[in-house]
Structure 1
Amino acid sequence: MEVFLRNSFVVVALVVVFLRHRVDSEPTQDKLALLAFLAQTPHENRLQWNSSNSACTWVGIQCDSNLSFVYSLRLPGVGLVGQIPANTIGNLTQLRILSLRANRLSGSIPSDFSNLKLLRSLYLQNNLFSGEFPPSIPQLDRLTRLDISSNNFTGSIPFAVNNLTHLTRLYLQNNGFSGSLPSISQSSIVDFNVSNNHLNGSIPTSLSRFQASSFAGNIDLCGVPLPPCNPFFPSPAPSPPSIPPPNPPRKTAKKLSKAAIIAISVGAALILLLLILILILCLRRGQRRRQAAKTQKPTAAARSGAGAAGAAAGDPGTSSSMEVTGVSGEAERNKLLFFDGGIYSFDLEDLLRASAEVLGKGSVGTSYKAVLEEGTTVVVKRLKDVVVTRKEFETQMELVGRIKHDNVLPLRAYYYSKDEKLLVSDYMSAGSRGSGRTPLDWDNRMRIALSTGRGLAHLHVSGKVIHGNIKASNILLRQDHDACVSDFGLNPLFGSTTPPNRVAGYRAPEVVETRKVTFKSDVYSFGVLLLELLTGKSPNQASLGEEGIDLPRWVQSVVREEWTAEVFDVELMRYQNIEEEMVQLLQIAMACVSTVPDQRPSMPEVVRMMEEINRGETDDGLRQSSDEPSKGSGDNA
């Protein structure tokens, strides 16, 4: 009995020691490596790792279940600057996930990254790394995701990338890689992008399965899916088929008779006379055309530049013509039809004589800024792919033309012919909220969100109209940043075969499958627009976050990991006392982008929730002045 008690005591003691060891376990070597990395790399004060605490509790660090090693290191957008020191991160030999994206790290990747043999996901995009393709990366043969896009890497892409046999996603775009593309043969790769580099030559057959956008911006790259390559040496002309020599003709006559000679001469004279008559007719026809042209004023071509496709109204761009075809013979029947209460008094001929400037090429057509001879400026949208009849077109235009609201851009006139369909609306000099503009403060972002929501709510409730194509370029701004919704109610003109809202980043999930827009799909698109205002990110931006996912899913993943502050545009961090309002608007946006349509609020409910945000409102629902930037705040990466 005494022996049994003694043995039991020993077992209990060992269990206590073992459990205490598990509780107090700490990845000591990994902790030292992380502290060395932090000490040698300049950074913002958001990273406050306390050396007296376990490394597994630090921000951005995730350990395994036994707390014995660092499993994941995620430090996106924390202001890391300069080169990655050697013998720091490279010592985290058990690391599976490494994310240092959206910092200001520079120089080359340390060679000791080759020690990270178990690494599966590596995200280094949106930094300032330079030098050739990191030679340590092809040694990480367990990688499934690699993103080194938007850096300054140069040189060739090595064939050794084929060593990464488990790779599923490879992003190398927006660098300075040159030379030819290697034949990357992994069939496991489902997402691939080398756009906007300096690559040349033919695209290997193993990569031809990817879309043209994966290779865009490499002007010397060719082959499927891009245009075919021109051969350096032209193909030789085919040899004529060998023809056996004919049997020698019988010599029936040694020379032509006089009758044959006379017949040939007469025939040649007749042919010559016929050619002269045809030439005279052509000259007379050309003279009549020139005389007719003098009686008409030619259509003026654009003399200033057009923005990129989908650019905001009001942005300049390359010169282009708004010459409208198919109107000369139908001018009397196909008139420019104005709506009651309009403010314009020009006709179709005035419009055709106007100077035109391309504003943007969108999913439903091309928009022109037209300046008439008397000085009036309007926007003319030239629709494409319209499939409905004249009666159906006119019925839809009458419905759209009746809608009047301060936050809805009114349709002033329309034109229909067999070859041309035109819409005329007011010109908004402030344009849309495009890229490359001065960042907006918080008050103006709220003003855009609220005024856009009111316009859409009016379309849904009073107009009974589904917008069907909500995106940033269709939200036009006045000088006071009040928004006007444009391009609404056009979806019925294009039939069921044309996908509505071709900018995929704004489309509701059910629209992708059914190609049918609804009031609820409009709410989803508006939610994406709110996320765009909050995050400063374009919804169709390639490789959002770390998994190449769309904007709503990326926001959900960040919020789920309790990195909510990382969602918001860094420009908004300059303003004080708006955190609660940003979170409230984020919650509204997330409700709008619910994957289940019935769980989304209606547009009037969305407007009500935005109006209830506690912002110390004035009568117009917005503050009278913008928040001042925080004093002493430095630049945020």
Structure 2
Amino acid sequence: MQPQNLSFFLFLFVILLPSVKPDLDSDRAALLALRSAVGGRTLLWNVTQQSPCSWAGVQCKDNHVTVLRLPGVALSGQIPTGIFSNLTHLRTLSLRLNALKGQLPSDLASCASLRNLYLQGNLLSGEFPEVLFSLHDLVRLNLASNNFSGVIPLGLNNLTRLRTLFLENNHLSGSIPALNLKKLEQLNVSNNLLNGSVPGKFQIFSSDAFLGNSLCGRPLKPCPGTEVPPAFGIDINEPKKKKLSGGAIAGIVIGSVLGFLLILLVLFLLCRRKSSKKTTSVDIATVKQRVAEIPGDKPVSDVENGGYNNGYSVAATAAAAMVGNGKSEANNGGAKKLVFFGNSARAFDLEDLLRASAEVLGKGTFGTAYKAVLEVGTAVAVKRLKDVTISEREFKEKIEVVGAMDHENLVPLRAYYYSRDEKLLVYDYMPMGSLSALLHGNKGAGRTPLNWQMRSGIAFGAARGIEFLHSQGSNVSHGNIKSSNILLTKSHDARVSDFGLAHLVGPSSTPNRVAGYRAPEVTDPRKVSQKADVYSFGVLLLELLTGKAPTHALLNEEGVDLPRWVQSIVREEWTSEVFDLELLRDQNVEEEMVQLLQLAVDCAASYPDKRPSMAEVTKRIEELRQSSLRENHEPQPNVINDTGDISSR
């Protein structure tokens, strides 16, 4: 390097270096000033470390503090002015469940990039803090369980990106203004001193959001003096019209009777038809016709991989699968029987399945799925395989390996049947169907929401099942991991299905497999490594957290897959927006949700070497579940209705 070039380089180094370091130094000084002002029993920061980025509750990005999360650490006193003016890059601020008092400092307005502000469970007071109106990027605002008073100001209209507004358990008074917050998804103003009617735009929220006030109007009781619209357009104040004549009354009665009889006749015919369908036995003589009548493929979310109730992928009924070839072989002396594995109970045989009533559950990657109810009342599930081109000897060798897999988080294979034209697998019947059905099925009234404990438990169970498969050998993988292959027991415990089947079928069954779940390095879907399994499991975790399937229409329109979509949201510091709204109802589990999101992103890394092993994945899920259970059982300092924060990474 020439001397003049070296001198120029050193000049730039000297000029630019100070512009980087002081930024973090000012952030560090602000954090130390905060600790000095409000204390905190757990703020045991190691001040000998020059960088604050490793301090508990502090996260940095681009040489700035962007996240400060200090929930429940016994902070007390008033936050002085001058601290936040040096923390101008904050995206998430969580000081919930402390004993902070007084008003918010005016320099909080300097944090123009703030997305998430969680101050619930303190002793903050004064009128609604106007300093918040300049934080135009706020998405989550939680001021619940404080001592704020005065009216709810119209200045909240400045927060056009606001999705969560929690103001419950304060002393707010007056009426609720008609705020124009188009993106608002969560609202709670309960237990204040509010009066008047609920604004029309807020009437979509549940009554719980408004209880403990003097409010009226939908979704609460009608306001006094509100006129009730005349029923069916009849004005009760109009003079009574003349009574109907006797002939008119007779006509109405006769018409009603005839209509009632007609309805009874239709119901009778429908019941007979339904009863006839239910009692139809699937025997060898009729099964070919029944299979021919199976409707075309249902939507992927309904029956992908022969799924039960929206994607039951392993359970299928032997009854409808036993076509004439098995019987003819038996008649010719080459009798074919069900082959049971290990200690599986031999409570039925091939003929029992042939006589069973069957219900078609759907078609999928490896074949058609059925549910068969035996004469003794036992329900079994069988998959009728398609495109099996290997010999009987090779089939037997490979399926015996599958049958030997014994783990509480795997759907056990009980028996198989092999003939020249029919290959059948008999499994335990899983009554709750698949995770795909639960996530993407009917979300109407009466549906049980999937909360954090259920979802994290399903993730943990599925991880354990896949980890067990991987522990059977370095070349053992699942090869077809997706939500329709995660089946559920009545207690919502996860059971992994469809393992070991990728090696049984021909190439024609594989092109469309695991759309959206397949790792980028997989070229032959019949040859999937354990690291590729980890990628698919990462997509499954993202599906659990976002509520979006990898084939979601929104993602397809944007031309990205689910992992890339999540990463794009996280890069923009809008992490809280990726979570399914049903998850946001849970309290005090935001840390764990973000940790699981990070684990999912790690699993779905583009390069296999960057992905963790399934053993590590299982361990991390178990640890975060234990963390959430501990936090939920810890006593809280007289604070109710706490909703935690979701940090941005």
SS of equivalent residue, structure 2 residue 513: coil
Aligned match of 1:324: 323
Aligned match of 2:457: 447
- Identity among equivalent positions (%) equals 52
Q: Residue 560 in 1 paired to residue 559 in 2?
A: no
Judging changes above 3 Å, is the alpha-carbon distance between structure 1 residues 438 and 614 closer, same or farther for their aligned structure 2 residues?
closer
- Of residues 622, 633, 640 in structure 2, which corresponds to 1:611? 622
Measure, in 1, the Cα distance between the counterparts of 2:466 and 2:481: 9
1:119-173 deviation digits (Å, cap 9, x = unpaired): xxxxxxxxx9xxxxxxxxxxxxxxxxxxxxxxxxxxxxxxxxxxxxxxxxxxxxx
Aligned-pair CA distance for 1:366: 1.2
Contact 2:411/2:428, CA 8 A, preserved across alignment: yes
Q: Residue 309 in 1 paired to residue 311 in 2?
A: no
Measure, in 2, the Cα distance between the counterparts of 1:561 and 1:336: 57
1:401-451 deviation digits (Å, cap 9, x = unpaired): 001000011110111112111100000112112122532111111110001
Contact 1:304/1:316, CA 8 A, preserved across alignment: no
Measure, in 1, the Cα distance between the counterparts of 2:569 and 2:396: 47
Q: Residue 539 in 1 paired to residue 550 in 2?
A: yes
Contact 1:309/1:362, CA 8 A, preserved across alignment: yes
1:530-576 deviation digits (Å, cap 9, x = unpaired): 11111111111122287232111110000010000001111111111
Aligned match of 1:212: none
Q: Residue 461 in 1 paired to residue 461 in 2?
A: no
Quote the RMSD (CA, aligned, Å).
4.5
Contact 1:351/1:370, CA 8 A, preserved across alignment: yes
Judging changes above 3 Å, is the alpha-carbon distance between structure 1 residues 77 and 329 closer, same or farther for their aligned structure 2 residues?
farther
Contact 2:368/2:383, CA 8 A, preserved across alignment: yes
Contact 2:470/2:476, CA 8 A, preserved across alignment: yes
| Structure 1, 449-458 or 328-337: larger mean CA deviation | 328-337
SS of equivalent residue, structure 1 residue 481: coil
Contact 1:400/1:489, CA 8 A, preserved across alignment: yes
Aligned match of 2:493: 482
Q: Residue 388 in 1 paired to residue 385 in 2?
A: no
SS of equivalent residue, structure 1 residue 414: strand
Unmatched 5+ stretches in structure 1: 1-43, 61-72, 80-87, 89-99, 105-127, 129-294
Judging changes above 3 Å, is the alpha-carbon distance between structure 1 residues 296 and 605 closer, same or farther for their aligned structure 2 residues?
closer
Contact 1:543/1:549, CA 8 A, preserved across alignment: no
Aligned-pair CA distance for 1:341: 0.3
- Of residues 351, 354, 358 in structure 1, which corresponds to 2:353? 351
SS of equivalent residue, structure 1 residue 340: coil
Aligned match of 1:400: 402
Contact 2:381/2:426, CA 8 A, preserved across alignment: yes
Aligned-pair CA distance for 1:386: 1.5
Judging changes above 3 Å, is the alpha-carbon distance between structure 1 residues 77 and 355 closer, same or farther for their aligned structure 2 residues?
farther
Aligned-pair CA distance for 1:481: 1.4
Aligned match of 2:585: 574
Unmatched 5+ stretches in structure 2: 1-114, 119-128, 140-158, 166-179, 187-203, 205-282, 644-649
SS of equivalent residue, structure 2 residue 375: coil
Q: Which amino acid aligns with 1:324?
A: V
- Of residues 479, 492, 513 in structure 2, which corresponds to 1:502? 513
Q: Which amino acid aligns with 1:456?
A: I
- Of residues 589, 594, 599 in structure 1, which corresponds to 2:600? 589
Q: Which amino acid aligns with 2:599?
A: I
Judging changes above 3 Å, is the alpha-carbon distance between structure 1 residues 443 and 561 closer, same or farther for their aligned structure 2 residues?
same
Report the number of matched residues.
Answer: 367
Judging changes above 3 Å, is the alpha-carbon distance between structure 1 residues 575 and 78 closer, same or farther for their aligned structure 2 residues?
closer
| Structure 1, 453-462 or 537-546: larger mean CA deviation | 537-546
Aligned match of 1:530: 541
SS of equivalent residue, structure 1 residue 530: helix
Per chain length, whose mean CA-contact separation is higher, i.e. which structure has more relative contact order (CA < 8 Å, sep 6+)?
2
Aligned-pair CA distance for 1:511: 1.9
Measure, in 1, the Cα distance between the counterparts of 2:556 and 2:604: 18
Measure, in 2, the Cα distance between the counterparts of 1:631 and 1:496: 55
Contact 2:588/2:642, CA 8 A, preserved across alignment: no
Judging changes above 3 Å, is the alpha-carbon distance between structure 1 residues 496 and 321 closer, same or farther for their aligned structure 2 residues?
closer
| Structure 1, 375-384 or 504-513: larger mean CA deviation | 504-513
Q: Which amino acid aligns with 1:457?
A: E
Contact 2:303/2:311, CA 8 A, preserved across alignment: no
| Structure 1, 425-434 or 449-458: larger mean CA deviation | 425-434
Q: Which amino acid aligns with 2:346?
A: Y
Judging changes above 3 Å, is the alpha-carbon distance between structure 1 residues 316 and 518 closer, same or farther for their aligned structure 2 residues?
closer
SS of equivalent residue, structure 1 residue 526: helix
Judging changes above 3 Å, is the alpha-carbon distance between structure 1 residues 392 and 461 closer, same or farther for their aligned structure 2 residues?
same
Measure, in 2, the Cα distance between the counterparts of 1:529 and 1:576: 23
1:238-276 deviation digits (Å, cap 9, x = unpaired): xxxxxxxxxxxxxxxxxxxxxxxxxxxxxxxxxxxxxxx
Measure, in 2, the Cα distance between the counterparts of 1:469 and 1:334: 30
